[in-house]
Structure formats: C-alpha cells, structure tokens
Structure 1
Amino acid sequence: MHWVAFMPLRANSKSIPDKNIRSIAGRPLFAWSLEQALTSQCFDEIYVATDSPRIRKRVLEEFPSAVKVLDRSAETCTDTASTESAMLEFHQKISFDVVSLIQATSPLTRADDFRMAKHKFITDNLDSLLTAVSSKRFFWTQSAIPINYDPANRPRRQDFEGCLMENGAFYFTRAKLLKETASRLGGRIGIHEMTAETAIEIDDEVDWVVVEQLLLRQKLKSTLGASQIKAFILDVDGTLTDGGMYYGSDGEVFKKFNTRDAHGLQLLRENGIKVCVMSSEASPAVAARMKKLNIDEYYPGIKNKFEVLQSKAKLWRMSLQDIAYMGDDLCDLDCISRVGAAICPADAVPEIMQRVHYVCIRPAGHGAVREACDLILGINLEMNMTSQKNHS
C-alpha cells in the first residue's frame, strides 16, 4: 500500500488575506498540520499543490526536503472549484493507493490522529474515512423541523447520544474510489473522532484568535512535558501595570494595577504555586501594592533578574523547567529564555514576543497577568487529570 498526504493551497483567500501563509502562533498556518503528518510517519510521501510562488517558497523554507510542491492549475483554484477537482488533478500526476487530504485550516490536528485513523482504515478495511467531533446539540432545519431528536420527548443532555459533526481536518480516500466516483467519500466509510477543540476551522478573524491561543497553549504544554508549574515569577512595569508613569503635583509616582490580576495571583497561591514579583525599580507605590496583596516574595531594584531567578529556584529546590516567568521587555529576556513556561502580555516588545511560549490576548495592566494565572491553573489541572487517568 502506497500512502500519500496531499494539501491543496491556493493563493487567494476571501475571508483572511494570505491565510495559508500567515503566521499563527509563530508559524505559517499550513505548517502546523503538515508537521504533524510528517511526525506521524503514516505517509510515504507528502505533497502540497499550489498556484502561488509565494506559498511554494514558504513551504520549501519550512520543509526543504520532507514535502514536495506541485503546480496547481488555475481551473482548480477558482472560488467555485471543488476540492475533489484538485485531488483528481493530483492523482493524474502522482500514483498512490490511499491519499490523505489535509486541510491547512485545521492546525490543531495531532500526529496521533493520523496514526489512529490509519489503523482504523486498515483494520476495518475502509474505502474512505472522515474526521469528526462529538456534538450534543439539538439541530433544526430552517423550516423548524427537528433533525436529531424528538421535541415531545426531549432527552436529558447526559442521556443524549448526540451525533458526530464532520470537522474537515483530514480525509483518507482509496485511489480506486476517487477515480470511479470523483468523491473523497464513498464505499465503506469510517469516522475518526477528534477532540472537541478541533471543531474550529479557521474561516474568519475570530476563529483565528481562538485557534492561535489553543496552539500557544498546546505549544506550552509540549515544552513543559510531564512537569507542572510550581512557581510564577513576574515583572512589574509593563506586566502588572500598563507601563504608564503617573506623577502627582509633589512629584509622587502613581502606577495603575488591575484587580483581576491580583485575584489571579491569589488563586495561584491558594493552589500551592509560589508567586514572586521583582522589578528593576524601587517604587513605594509598588511596595504598597505588594503589601496589600500579602506578597512577601517582592524584590525591588533588581538589576540582574536572572540571578534572582536562579537563587529562588535553588532555594525552592525546583528546576527552572518548573517555573513560569512573565515579562515584557529586554531586561526579562534572560529569564524568559531559561524557564519552562515563558509568557508575555499582548503589548510586549517584539524580541520578547518571539521568544515566549505564550502571548496573552490582553495587554499589560488590563488582565494579562490574570490570563497567565488562569492558563497556569488550567495546564496544571489537565496534567493532574492525565496523571490520575494513567495511574487508574
């Protein structure tokens, strides 16, 4: 059996300009699912077909030898052309037994999805396979006719089997079926069920923002491995504050903090996560705020933040991999480059944004720290649940 993967990418995108090569979570959109296809080792060859020299160049930059790029005709790149037309054109050039059509707009696809789907395809002797997610929603037609339940006998959600919704992440199709029917699905059809978040396909800017945060979260979890975050160290100006400097008539400096950030830090401490705040300045306003929050681990006037980070890790008897650090400017770069979880506000300097594992949606002083705290708590909870599941 000769297995190939195929991703069609066209130059024009109506909803999001240059969508296929636009950077999301630090990489071009197309690269995420292609990389997972490579990692899965399910395919003998992987191809991209495109009508765009720019896309061709970016694909070859990301995957210089692992992915082959073919030309795609103008006829298969129109707004009305079907994806099957691109698949059939591809089959005229490349011989295969089974092709996997991969959608660039589903970057949350994982290597294990390809592996499990291929195992199912072979084990069940399928002709085609689609991916889907479970949905327990009640569906109706435009004419107010129920599709998947009886309104007179409305089931409880916990008793409702629901249905599977096609998510378009990828498909498997036998060459014989594609040639005879000009369709990606037919014959003996199987379904590979994927996780709930993969229901999101990127069609607009809202989808983009949501998926980017999920990718960054996924990236952070991958960096942490099996370890949990045990401590959170953060900067003040441009992180806990909006970076503004407010002066009273007598020259007194005021700083603006966010109440939600304070509650997030409290939640971390309540869950056994150490919190440490350090600043390159010695500000009475910040000192007063730290006292109000009962944060004893506050270090003002620090010129070398990495030295403090190292000393705290040694004192706490933990690895730098167990520590999350949040900062916004170049003075935070050493710390951000060494910790297990590096986070920054949405308005951090570009050099920091390029090095962190997670960029917050919110800017500094407007809930970015709370977002980071919620992220840390969520990741630790997921890891706890996974550990308990593995031991049960």
Structure 2
Amino acid sequence: MKTKKNRVVAFIPVRGGSKSIPLKNIKKMYGRPLVYWAIDAAVECEYIDEVYVSTDSIEIEKSINCYDKEHHNKLKCIKRSPKNATDTATTESVLMEFIDKVKSTEVVLIQATSPLIQAKDLDAAFRKFYSNNYDSLLSLVRQKRFIWTENDNETVQPVNYNVAFRSRRQDFEGFLVENGAFYISKYDAVIKSELRISGKIGHYEMQEESYIEIDEPGDWIIVEEILKKREREKQASKKSMITPEKVKLFATDCDGVLTDAGMYYSENGDMLKKFNTKDGMGLSMLKENNIILAILTGENSAIVKKRAEKLGIEEVILGCKDKVAAMDKLISKYNINYENVAFIGDDVNDLELLKKVGYSFSVADAIQIVKDSVDYVTFRKGGEGAVREVADLILSKIGREYNESN
C-alpha cells in the first residue's frame, strides 16, 4: 500500500489546438469545461498528492484557475513547450517533459477526453497497483463484440470466436480494450522505458460505457447523456437521504427566485422588483424555527437590502460573484457544515454552490442543468411562491403535506 514515502502526482495533458472540436478541452460538457470532469476524479482520489494540468493555451490556463477553489491547493497548471504542443507530438514526449520537471514515486496519466472517469476508479486502481507491486497499470474496458480481419483476397475471417460455435453475449467473456482514461506507472519505470506503461503491467476494468472518448462531435452528445444520467442517479440517491430537520442555514438567490426575474421601471426610470408575500411568510417561518437566513445575489440593489431588512434576514451579500466563497465565510461564522445548509437557485452562477450544500433546490423555471443537479425542483416558478414551497418542505420534515395538496 501507499506509504508516507510515496509521492503520487497526476498528469493531465491538455492541448489548445484540437482540430475536430476547437478548444475541446474547455468546451462545456454538461455545463462544465470538459477537463473539469477528469480533474474532479484526480483531486478527489485519496492516493493522489498533486494534480498537474499541462497546457500550451492561455485560455485553458485561465479556465483551470477558475476551478473550484476548495481544491486549488492540490491543483496546479504547468507550461507545455511549443515542440510538445504540435499535432505530431506524442503523449509519451509530453509525459517525459513533465516528469523531468516534477519528481515523484508514481505518476498517473489521465486523459481529459475521458470525462467518465471517477475518483472511485482511481482509488480502486491504486489499491490494486500497490497490492500487486505492478510497475504499471492501465484502465481497460471489456467489449463483447466479435472481431473480424480482412485477408489479402478480400475475404474476412473471425479473430476471437469460431463461427461454428457462436457464443451468446451473456456467455461470451469478450476482450479487453484500452479506453485511454488513465495509466499508472512507477516514476523509475517511466524514466527507464520512456513509455507510459512498461514492466509488470496490471489492469483495472472500468464500466463498459467508459469506452467512449471525446474525439468527434457525436461522442460529445453520447457522453453528455451518460453524465446527465449519472448526476440524476446521484441526486435521486441523495434525495432519498434528505433529513430537512438538520437544516441550520437557508440561503436563497434573489432574481429569478425571490422575484420573477422581470425588470420593471417606474415613470421616473427607477428600477422596481416584484416579491411574493407567501415567500416572505415562508422565510419568517424558517426564522421562527431558529434557521439562519441569507440572501446571496450578484446584483447590488438597495431594493433587495430593504426587503431583507423587512423580513429580518441576518445575512445579505450583495454583488456576490463567488457564492461558494461567500458561503465558506458564513459556515465558518456560524460554526456549521455544508451538510447543514440549504440553498435555492435558478442559474449557472448558482450551480457550484448547489452542488456543495447539504440540500439543494431550484425553482420550476430554472435552467435545465440546474434542475438536473438539485435534490428538489419546486412546482412553483421564481417569484410565485417557490421559496414558500421549500420552507414548507423543510418545516414539514418530509414534505408530504405539500406534495399531497398539489
């Protein structure tokens, strides 16, 4: 197993000059830059000490620097030389350039074009790697397909089965194929061989769906649907464990949640906002039950401040550009954890915080990616009683009363 002497680094090569899909590695995949999915797996892996993204692109570097601040102490960007950023540069040449700069005992090469990789895959792979004292280990996928090869006379013949004894799929062991997701190697083995894998090679078998790599636009559509399905399953599992009585702080966005997101102006050109009195009552009820209230909004509006004062809301953060950072300060101030926080939002600027809190909600007219990511989507639209609906859900402990009355 890994000891204190082991230093494991992850290496994610990300080139800016993709031909098939321009700036592919930071194009949004299910609402996030493609490379973020690989970074997630790396930073969440218990065996990896540092994660390096190697790039020649300033745009990609900026995107990496915007990754969730919670993991910035583990994530680093490293420059990629021009000679290793060409169409003809090999992954091995980029890897050798990297290990010449960063010393370790083990290095894991992770491909940004395999967003279906998860931390649990890397954790299991490292356990197998150390237990068997491999020099290298790679990720593989089992494919149950019959392979044929062409002969010189334009006929074909089977490679992996006998046509006289065609196996049923459930009885067919299939064959193992590289999915390109990751390669673990001892540092010394890479130095000696100048290859990503060498010596005594082990394997870790990933789910069949992870066979797909992002090379063409069609791959993008398929993988995005798989990620969407995964996120829904995660949220369904999380929702089944909701215990709203643990909520100690309730936070809400303003425009599109407490309001209908409309922009209204008086004859004098003064901006107006429409709030819902039922939402106000819901917030008051939460406050009466000793739940801390907070508004986190990107807008700097005196109207919001006045509304908050009327409702007795303790925390109002206007002009909030980083809602995760703002919430970090609140949970520290009140000595609570993210699992004690409920948050309701409606747009992409709410997404990162929604993924971190213990209880996440969106209004009925939120953008789709937000609705796909939360524990609960209200029946009501923003500004039409959605916050009251969530308040009722929290205060009723299981939310049965609201669902049965609609």
Confirm or deny: 8 A CA contact 2:44 2:119 kept in the other structure: yes
The residue aligned with 1:373 is none
* Counterpart selection for 1:195 from 203, 207, 225: 207
Please give the alpha-carbon distance, in whole angstroms, between the structure 2 residues aligned to 1:27 and 1:134. 28
**Superposed CA offset, 1:90-132 (max 9, x none):** 0110001111000111111111101000000000110111111
Matched, 1:208 2:220: yes
List gaps (5 residues or longer) in structure 1.
230-302, 308-326, 329-336, 360-392
- Matched length: 258
Amino acid at match of 1:355: V
Amino acid at match of 2:211: A
User: How do 1:226-245 and structure 2 match up within 5 A?
Assistant: 226-227=238-239
* Counterpart selection for 1:352 from 362, 367, 387: 367
How high is the TM-score relative to the length of structure 2? 0.58
* Counterpart selection for 2:163 from 146, 151, 170: 151
User: How do 1:303-318 and structure 2 match up within 5 A?
Assistant: none
User: How do 1:1-392 and structure 2 match up within 5 A?
Assistant: 1-63=6-68, 64-143=72-151, 144-227=156-239, 352-353=367-368, 355-357=370-372
Amino acid at match of 1:179: I
Please give the alpha-carbon distance, in whole angstroms, between the structure 2 residues aligned to 1:306 and 1:23. 34
Q: Alpha carbons of 1:304 and 1:32: their partners in 2 closer, same or farther (altered >3 Å)?
A: farther
How high is the TM-score relative to the length of structure 1? 0.60
Confirm or deny: 8 A CA contact 2:179 2:210 kept in the other structure: yes
Confirm or deny: 8 A CA contact 1:224 1:341 kept in the other structure: no
Aligned-residue offset at 1:197: 1.2
Aligned-residue offset at 1:354: 5.1
Q: Alpha carbons of 1:152 and 1:81: their partners in 2 closer, same or farther (altered >3 Å)?
A: same
Aligned-residue offset at 1:218: 1.7
Please give the alpha-carbon distance, in whole angstroms, between the structure 2 residues aligned to 1:217 and 1:156. 28
Aligned-residue offset at 1:43: 0.8
Amino acid at match of 1:34: I
Q: Alpha carbons of 1:202 and 1:212: their partners in 2 closer, same or farther (altered >3 Å)?
A: same
Q: Alpha carbons of 1:306 and 1:150: their partners in 2 closer, same or farther (altered >3 Å)?
A: farther
Aligned-residue offset at 1:183: 0.9
User: Superposition RMSD on alpha carbons, in Å?
Assistant: 3.1
Please give the alpha-carbon distance, in whole angstroms, between the structure 1 residues aligned to 2:99 and 2:109. 12
The residue aligned with 2:317 is none
**Superposed CA offset, 1:180-236 (max 9, x none):** 11111111111101111111111111111111121122222222335459xxxxxxx
Aligned-residue offset at 1:343: 10
Please give the alpha-carbon distance, in whole angstroms, between the structure 2 residues aligned to 1:15 and 1:112. 30
**Matched-pair identity in %:** 41
Q: Alpha carbons of 1:342 and 1:152: their partners in 2 closer, same or farther (altered >3 Å)?
A: farther
Confirm or deny: 8 A CA contact 1:49 1:69 kept in the other structure: yes
Please give the alpha-carbon distance, in whole angstroms, between the structure 1 residues aligned to 2:277 and 2:220. 37
Q: Alpha carbons of 1:352 and 1:227: their partners in 2 closer, same or farther (altered >3 Å)?
A: closer
The residue aligned with 1:256 is none
Q: Alpha carbons of 1:69 and 1:145: their partners in 2 closer, same or farther (altered >3 Å)?
A: same
Confirm or deny: 8 A CA contact 1:127 1:186 kept in the other structure: yes
Give SS of 1:355's match: helix
Please give the alpha-carbon distance, in whole angstroms, between the structure 2 residues aligned to 1:36 and 1:188. 25
Aligned-residue offset at 1:175: 1.4
**Superposed CA offset, 1:265-295 (max 9, x none):** xxxxxxxxxxxxxxxxxxxxxxxxxxxxxxx
Confirm or deny: 8 A CA contact 2:40 2:118 kept in the other structure: no
**Superposed CA offset, 1:63-107 (max 9, x none):** 543311111011111111110101000011000111100011111
**Superposed CA offset, 1:288-307 (max 9, x none):** xxxxxxxxxxxxxxx99999
Q: Alpha carbons of 1:339 and 1:42: their partners in 2 closer, same or farther (altered >3 Å)?
A: closer
List gaps (5 residues or longer) in structure 2.
1-5, 242-275, 281-345, 348-356, 375-406
The residue aligned with 1:311 is none
